[in-house]
């Protein structure tokens, strides 16, 4: 469980359209209320939906699970070559914003849905739920992770 910092994963993305690799951060309290500062957010540092096309990864922030769920809506980053070989996917999370990076390039900055509570990391690979999305998928497929690193600033007397 961490709060704020720089989160980085070096990984090779899956190849098939019926699978979904992701590197994300989740709040244990997200469904308990609507204020992301108090109840947290789902921070999708990187999601790869190969069905969207090659060389595309998505980022998103969701909060207030339930009838009033909020989202930033999928932000797509296009980077030639990201669909082959290893690449780094990163997030800088501060009390003011989320900044999303791919291979060191800043793609998006978000100032909505900012969580101020400790959350946990998840690396996942799922099979898409719609049968038509997986009918041509060739298994096995893999989302290969080389490393995950989390950096946090040292606390000073003027910070939290």
Average pLDDT, the chain: 93
- What is this structure's pTM? 0.92
- Helix and strand numbers (H, E) in the chain are 2, 11
Q: What is the pLDDT of residue 153?
A: 84
The answer to whether residues 91 and 25 touch, using CB atoms and an 8 Å cutoff, is yes
Domain ranges of the chain: 5-130
Pairing of strands 86-93, 19-26: unpaired
Residue with tokens 């082959």, as numbered in its chain: 84
Pull the structure tokens for residue 52: 């969207």
Q: Which fold has domain 5-130?
A: Jelly Rolls (2.60.120)
Least confident of 62-71, 77-86, 123-132: 123-132
d(CA 40, CA 37): 6
Give residue-wise pLDDT tens across range 2-56: 999 999 999 999 998 888 899 999 999 999 999 999 999 999 999 998 888 889 9
End-to-end CA distance of the chain: 16
Mean pLDDT on 79-97: 96
Phi/psi-derived region of residue 86, left when phi > 0, alpha when psi is between -120 and 50, beta in every other case: beta
């Amino acid at each position: 469980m961490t709060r704020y910092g720089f989160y980085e994963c070096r990984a090779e993305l899956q190849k098939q359209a019926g699978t979904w690799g992701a590197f994300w951060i989740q709040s244990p309290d997200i469904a308990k209320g609507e204020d992301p500062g108090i109840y947290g957010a789902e921070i999708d540092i990187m999601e790869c939906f190969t069905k969207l096309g090659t060389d595309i990864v998505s980022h998103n922030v969701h909060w207030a699970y339930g009838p009033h769920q909020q989202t930033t809506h999928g932000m797509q980053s296009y980077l030639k070559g990201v669909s082959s070989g290893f690449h780094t996917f990163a997030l800088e999370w501060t009390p003011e914003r989320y900044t999303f990076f791919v291979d060191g390039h800043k793609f998006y900055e978000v100032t909505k849905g900012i969580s101020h509570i400790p959350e946990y990391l998840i690396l996942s690979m799922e099979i898409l739920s719609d049968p038509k999305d997986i009918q041509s998928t060739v298994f096995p497929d893999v989302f290969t992770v080389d490393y995950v690193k989390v950096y946090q600033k040292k606390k000073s007397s003027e910070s939290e």
